Amino acid sequence: GAVVSQHPSRVICKSGTSVKIECRSLDFQATTMFWYRQFPKKSLMLMATSNEGSKATYEQGVEKDKFLINHASLTLSTLTVTSAHPEDSSFYICSAYRGLAGPYNEQFFGPGTRLTVL
């Protein structure tokens, strides 16, 4: 149980285009999903918290107009990187949280999306 998928796994795009990344919890309903960014050999940097049916909460320094988050259902959240530039190239990871349905505050992570902006 607790499987989270992420699509696409890799994407290469031209500067100025927008890229959408999907995160799905496959076998449970996630009250909350989190989006992270990770640089090589570094820890996870939380970008935003996404709750179903409400606006995402962004961490300080993260541009909400650049990183659009939509949490359409209890099993799907999307991150859209708008007008991507080379500095947005990174590994983006989502996680899903079961909330009170789980015994502990555990997050289950997707496999990540490698974004390369040319």
- Residues forming contacts to other proteins in the complex (CB under 8 A) are 2, 4, 6, 31-32, 34, 41-44, 46, 49, 91, 93, 95, 97, 99-100, 104-112, 114
Neighbour count for residue 46 (Cβ, 10 Å): 14
Taking the complex as a whole, the smallest distance from the CB of residue 117 to other proteins amounts, in Å, to: 18
CB of 14 to other proteins, least distance (A): 23
| Alpha-carbon distances of 77 from 46, 54, 92, rounded to whole Å | 15, 11, 13
Q: Which is nearer to other proteins, 83 or 97 (CB)?
A: 97
Query: Which residue do the tokens 């989270």 mark?
Result: 4
* Nearer CB in complex with other proteins: 101/118: 101
When the beta carbons of 53 and 100 are compared against other proteins, the nearer one is: 100
Q: Cα(33)–Cα(118) distance, rounded to whole angstroms? A: 28
Q: How far is the CB of 43 from other proteins (least distance, A)?
A: 4
**Residue placing its CB nearer to other proteins in the complex, 64 or 114:** 114
- Which of helix, strand or coil describes residue 22? strand
| Gap between the Cα atoms of 44 and 66, Å rounded | 19
Q: Cβ of residue 83: shortest distance to other proteins, in angstroms?
A: 26
Q: What is the dihedral of CA 60, 6, 84, 13, to 10 degrees?
A: 160
